[in-house]
């Protein structure tokens, strides 16, 4: 039930947005989208395939090569992005309600994080639009008198494939830099959560983005996503999701030698030293693993605790987890909502079962589904875990924490790095030398010291190893959405 004070979510858009027009799939196919909190079907949404991707790519190509977008000044592109950010702010309550309905995450988090960060991301990249500049290069004059300079030009038509855990925010992370740099885009939202991406497409039209600049084609990965990855007229693919999908994409993008960037999974270590502020550490561990139902690529899922503080930490962490308010995501007091799909619910429960069977680990909180309506999992903590166990090595993508005991700093840094992933890490200590030793020693793209899950559009986000290629956020992304052209002018 949605409390009367909240905007009632309404599903108005279920078609693709291609070339500024709303349309069904060429073959008329649709997919079902659900409310994870009730397991009820919300709507049938167009399920795109090759023909729809062909149409969207052709529109994006036209918009890039010859439409008003191709002639628009960088400053005017920035103004459109500012306008889009303003429209998102004006429609924030509606977007938040739609996100909760389709994803199952709590309204407090959507209003506190997803929507404001989406707005700020568009504003941040709006600011960059007219500041992406080339250089004048002081070249050797032995062979002549030259002016040599570089221009930064957009890459072209970009396919952006996003996941279901932060549907709106992941769209913003991808669209902000791509559009600021003058590219055109085909955005493919995850099949589980297409609704806010479609509304975002509508707001982009209202903001004044010319037709074809932003196309939104919903559909499955194996059909719509695959067609985008293989399309010869798509110059770049930006993808967020599982590393196994990234491996498939990398292979399928090889024939057309696409530029690719990946933001993938993690099994991020969170290190708690005995000298830490324990309140802070417990709060940090809670947000690290239970924020967004644990459906976060940078979730702090392996919590290493120094031996002398281990028992106290586990007791307090388990007490906090047992008090964590789980339930109706539309209730403003709810802290944890539903897993996004039945498939994810089953996956998380499977891992909980694996943890219980691995004889050494003890389940000290949660450990089962919550209720029998919707796809909720109790915040779950395993203690006495060792780093070689499956629950400590494989990405669960749910509210399941593994607590691992350690004795000394070199051991914990080594263990923290014993994972295929390298997205994030955290450390809680009052000792600055320990904090820096961990921050420098872990092979991870983001390190939080005495905090967790702080984000800003200006701060780079991304991973080492199997956690990805390239970064989201920050000015570095602009390099991924531009080509550098070097121009030599003979002045003699």
Instruction: Write out the catalytic residue numbers.
Output: 263, 297
* Per CB under 6 A, 220 contacts ligand ADP: yes
| Contacts (CB under 6 A) with ligand ADP, residues 84-103 | none
Which position's Cβ is nearest ligand ADP? 221
Q: According to the binding rule CB under 6 A, does residue 194 interact with ligand ADP? A: no
Check binding of 248 to ligand ADP (CB under 6 A). Answer: yes
Q: How far is the CB of 229 from ligand ADP (least distance, A)?
A: 5
Nearer to ligand ADP, 221 or 366 (CB): 221
Instruction: Considering the complex, state which of residue 237 and residue 276 has its C-beta at the smaller distance from ligand ADP.
Output: 237
The residue to which tokens 């919903």 are assigned:
218
For residues 138-177, which are near ligand ADP according to CB under 6 A?
A: 161-163
Residue number, 225 or 374, with CB nearest to ligand ADP: 225
- Name the residue nearer to ligand ADP (CB basis): 264 or 425: 264
From the list 226, 384, 395, 415, which residue makes contact with ligand ADP (rule: CB under 6 A)? Answer: 226
DSSP string covering 192-225, please?
T--HHHHHHHHHHHHHTPPTTSEEE----IIIII
| Candidates 7-15, 63-71, 225-233, 271-279; binding stretch for ligand ADP (CB under 6 A) | 225-233
Binding segment for ligand ADP (CB under 6 A), chosen from 56-64, 87-95, 221-229, 299-307, is 221-229
Q: Tell me: does residue 36 bind ligand ADP (CB under 6 A).
A: no
Cβ proximity to ligand ADP: between 137 and 254 the closer is 254
Q: Which pair of tokens denotes residue 238?
A: 């930006």
Query: Is position 241 an interface residue for ligand ADP (rule: CB under 6 A)?
Result: yes
Using CB under 6 A as the binding rule, the residues of this chain from 298 to 317 that contact ligand ADP are: none
DSSP letter, residue 165? S
Q: Which of 76, 93, 242, 358 binds ligand ADP (CB under 6 A)?
A: 242
Least Å from the CB of residue 337 to ligand ADP: 17
Closest to ligand ADP by CB, 244 vs 485, is: 244
Based on the shown chain and the rule CB under 6 A, indicate whether residue 250 belongs to the binding site for ligand ADP: no
The least CB distance from residue 190 to ligand ADP, in Å, is 4
Closer by beta carbon to ligand ADP, 242 or else 483: 242
> Minimum distance from CB of 383 to ligand ADP (Å)?
27
Which of the ranges 69-77, 223-231, 329-337, 446-454 carries the binding residues for ligand ADP, by CB under 6 A?
223-231
Q: Judged by CB under 6 A, which of 104, 221, 269, 327 binds ligand ADP? A: 221
The three-state secondary structure class of 131 is helix
| HEC profile of the chain | CCCCCCCCCCCCCCCEEECCEEECCCCCCEEEEEECCCCEEEEEEECCCHHHHHHHHHHHHHHHHCCHHHHCCHHHHHHHHHHHHHHHHHCHHHHHHHHHHHHCCCHHHHHHHHHHHHHHHHHHHHHHHHHCCCCEECCCCCCCCEEEEEEEEECCEEEEECCCCCHHHHHHHHHHHHHHCCCEEEEECCCCCCHHHHHHHHHHHHHCCCCCCEEECCCCHHHHHHHHHHCCCCCEEEEECCHHHHHHHHHHCCCCCCEEEEECCCCCEEEECCCCCHHHHHHHHHHHHHHHHHCCCCCCCEEEEEHHHHHHHHHHHHHHHHHCCECCCCCCCCCECCCCCHHHHHHHHHHHHHHHHCCCCEEEECCCEECCCCCEECCEEEECCCCCCHHHHCCCCCCEEEEEEECCHHHHHHHHHCCCEECEEEEECCCHHHHHHHHHHCCCCEEEECCCCCCCCCCCECCEECCEECCECCCCHHHHCEEEEEEEEECC
Site membership for ligand ADP, residue 478 (CB under 6 A): no
Cα 469–chain centre separation: 14
Could you tell me how many residues of this chain bind ligand ADP (CB under 6 A)? 17
Candidate segments 204-212, 245-253, 306-314, 419-427, binder of ligand ADP by CB under 6 A: 245-253
Q: Examine residue 191 and tell whether it contacts ligand ADP (CB under 6 A).
A: yes
Cβ atoms of residues 231 and 159 within 8 Å:
yes
Asked if 346 is part of the footprint of ligand ADP (rule: CB under 6 A), the reply reads: no
Q: Say whether residue 197 binds ligand ADP (CB under 6 A).
A: no
Cα distances from 212 to residues 36, 179, 215, 227, 403, in angstroms, run 32, 12, 6, 18, 49
Question: Out of 225, 327, 366, 379, which residue is the one contacting ligand ADP (CB under 6 A)?
Answer: 225
Give the separation between CA 196 and CA 201, rounded to whole angstroms.
9
Residue 109 binding ligand ADP, by CB under 6 A: no
- Identify which of residues 161 and 272 has a Cβ nearer to ligand ADP in the complex: 161
- For residue 229, state whether it binds ligand ADP (rule: CB under 6 A): yes
Within 13 A of 484's CA, how many CA atoms are on the CB side? 12
Does position 245 interact with ligand ADP (CB under 6 A)? The reply is yes
Q: Which stretch binds ligand ADP (CB under 6 A): 24-32, 72-80, 187-195, 465-473?
A: 187-195
The binding site for ligand ADP (CB under 6 A) comprises 161-163, 188, 190-191, 220-222, 225-226, 229, 241-242, 245, 248-249
């Amino acid at each position: 039930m949605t409390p009367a004070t909240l905007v009632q979510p309404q599903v108005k858009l279920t078609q693709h947005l291609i070339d500024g027009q709303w349309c069904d799939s060429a073959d008329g196919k649709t997919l079902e989208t659900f409310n994870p909190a009730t397991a009820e079907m919300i709507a049938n949404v167009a399920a795109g395939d090759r023909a729809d991707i062909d149409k969207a790519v052709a529109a994006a190509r036209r918009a890039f090569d010859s439409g008003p977008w191709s002639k628009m000044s960088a400053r005017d592109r920035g103004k459109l992005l500012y306008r889009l950010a303003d429209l998102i702010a004006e429609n924030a309550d509606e977007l938040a309600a739609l996100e909760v309905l389709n994803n199952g995450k709590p309204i407090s988090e959507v209003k506190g994080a997803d929507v404001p960060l989406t707005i700020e991301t568009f504003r941040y990249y709006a600011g960059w639009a007219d500041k992406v500049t080339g250089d004048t290069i002081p070249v050797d004059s032995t062979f002549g008198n030259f002016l040599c300079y570089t221009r930064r030009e957009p890459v072209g038509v970009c396919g952006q494939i996003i996941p279901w855990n932060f549907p709106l925010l992941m769209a913003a992370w991808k669209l902000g830099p791509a559009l600021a740099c003058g590219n055109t885009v085909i955005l493919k939202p995850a099949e589980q959560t297409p609704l806010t991406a479609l509304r975002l497409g509508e707001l982009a039209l209202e903001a004044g983005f010319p037709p074809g600049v932003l196309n939104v084609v919903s559909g499955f990965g194996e059909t719509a996503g695959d067609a985008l990855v293989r399309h010869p007229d798509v110059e770049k693919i930006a993808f967020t999701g599982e590393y196994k999908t990234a491996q498939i994409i990398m292979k399928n993008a090889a024939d057309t030698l696409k530029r690719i960037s990946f933001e993938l999974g993690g099994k991020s270590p969170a290190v708690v030293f005995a000298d830490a502020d324990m309140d802070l550490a417990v709060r940090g561990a809670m947000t690290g693993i239970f924020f967004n139902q644990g459906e976060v690529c940078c979730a702090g899922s392996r919590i290493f605790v120094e031996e002398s503080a281990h028992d106290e930490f586990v007791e307090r962490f388990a007490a906090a987890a047992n008090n964590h308010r789980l339930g109706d995501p539309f209730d403003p007091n709810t802290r944890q909502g539903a897993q996004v799909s039945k498939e994810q619910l089953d996956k998380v429960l499977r891992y909980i079962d694996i943890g219980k069977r691995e004889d050494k680990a003890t389940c000290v909180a949660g450990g089962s589904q919550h209720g029998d309506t919707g796809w909720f999992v109790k915040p779950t903590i395993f203690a006495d875990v060792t780093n070689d166990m499956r629950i400590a090595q494989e990405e669960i993508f749910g509210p399941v924490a593994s607590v691992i005991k350690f004795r000394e700093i070199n051991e914990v840094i080594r263990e923290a790095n014993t994972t295929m992933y390298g997205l994030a890490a955290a450390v809680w200590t009052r000792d600055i030398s320990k904090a820096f030793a961990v921050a420098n020693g872990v092979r991870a793209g983001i390190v939080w010291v005495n905090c967790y899950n702080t984000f800003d559009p200006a701060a780079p986000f991304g991973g080492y190893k199997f956690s990805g290629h390239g970064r989201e956020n920050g000015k570095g992304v602009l390099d991924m959405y531009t080509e550098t052209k070097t121009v030599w002018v003979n002045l003699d």
